[in-house]
């Protein structure tokens, strides 16, 4: 049986699950904070930190920049790894502040080198950089997070051992737009949470025929 292509997977997920309406945020700054806070934790823990940050700052960039680091740590404690995440937030917001949070200008300044610039910042790894590229800078990137790697492994793909290996191995369709990249990541993440946690596995028999490898 031939493997399901990335384009086929995207169309199947979209048909059966519908648009996901991601990222769950009202502003880009809220998205940025969420992308950092959700690292190595679940969304519920990150969401609690976001609520506390919203109460304290209204997600206004200058309010966040003016927060004393110790207060920031307290506000985001529920997301875990608060020492590292507070430094990542401070570093990234100070970097963005150099460009007055003008995301179009940042896109223009760095062009194809933007991902590498993001990776130089403290606390910004491959996955977070790609999330920022898709949801903040409106680029087209594949985001092979934990659930995505598990799904691609079940579909029979090689190089699913870690994030960067699968990212190099899988190419998104050439006609993918930013909205497609946005939707694809949301579908993969939500599918993975449900399927691999076993809560509503019966809903996803439409993919069973393609699962040529099992965990």
User: Is the pLDDT assigned to residue 203 strictly greater than 60?
Assistant: no
Q: Confidence band (pLDDT; 50, 70, 90) for 91?
A: very high
In terms of pLDDT, which residue wins out, 152 or 194?
152
pTM (2 d.p.):
0.91
Considering the domain architecture, whether residues 55 and 114 belong to the same structural domain is answered as: yes
Considering the domain architecture, whether residues 204 and 157 belong to the same structural domain is answered as: yes
Q: Which of 136, 163, 181 is the last residue of a domain?
A: 136
Considering the domain architecture, whether residues 44 and 127 belong to the same structural domain is answered as: yes
Residue range of the domain that includes 88 = 28-136
Tell me whether residue 1 is in a domain: no
Q: Return the percentage of the chain with pLDDT > 90, whole number.
A: 80
Q: How many domains, in total, are found in the chain? A: 2
Considering the domain architecture, whether residues 116 and 159 belong to the same structural domain is answered as: no
Considering the domain architecture, whether residues 116 and 58 belong to the same structural domain is answered as: yes
Considering the domain architecture, whether residues 151 and 63 belong to the same structural domain is answered as: no
Distance from first CA to last CA of the chain, Å, rounded?
A: 18
Tell me: the pLDDT tens digits for 147-182?
Answer: 999 999 988 899 999 999 999 999 999 999 999 999
Tell me: the pLDDT tens digits for 7-63?
Answer: 999 999 998 889 998 888 999 999 999 999 999 999 999 999 999 999 999 999 999
């Amino acid at each position: 049986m031939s493997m399901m292509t990335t384009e086929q997977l995207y169309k199947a997920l979209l048909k059966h699950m519908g648009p996901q309406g991601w990222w769950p945020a009202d502003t880009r700054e809220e998205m940025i904070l969420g992308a950092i806070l959700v690292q190595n934790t679940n969304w519920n823990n990150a969401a609690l930190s976001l609520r506390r940050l919203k109460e304290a700052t209204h997600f206004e960039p200058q309010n966040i920049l003016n927060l004393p680091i110790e207060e920031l740590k307290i506000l985001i404690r529920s997301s875990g790894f608060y020492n590292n995440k507070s430094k990542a937030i401070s570093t990234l917001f100070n970097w963005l502040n150099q460009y007055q949070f003008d995301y179009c200008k940042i896109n223009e300044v760095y062009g194809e080198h933007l991902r590498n610039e993001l990776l130089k910042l403290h606390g910004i790894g491959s996955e977070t950089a790609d999330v920022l590229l898709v949801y903040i800078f409106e680029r087209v990137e594949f985001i092979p997070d934990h659930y995505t790697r598990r799904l691609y492994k079940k579909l029979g793909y090689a190089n699913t051992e870690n994030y960067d290996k699968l990212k190099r191995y899988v190419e998104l369709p050439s006609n993918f737009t930013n909205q497609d990249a946005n939707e694809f990541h949301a579908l993969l993440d939500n599918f993975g949470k449900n399927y691999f946690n076993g809560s509503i596995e019966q809903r996803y028999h439409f993919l069973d025929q393609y699962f040529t490898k099992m965990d």
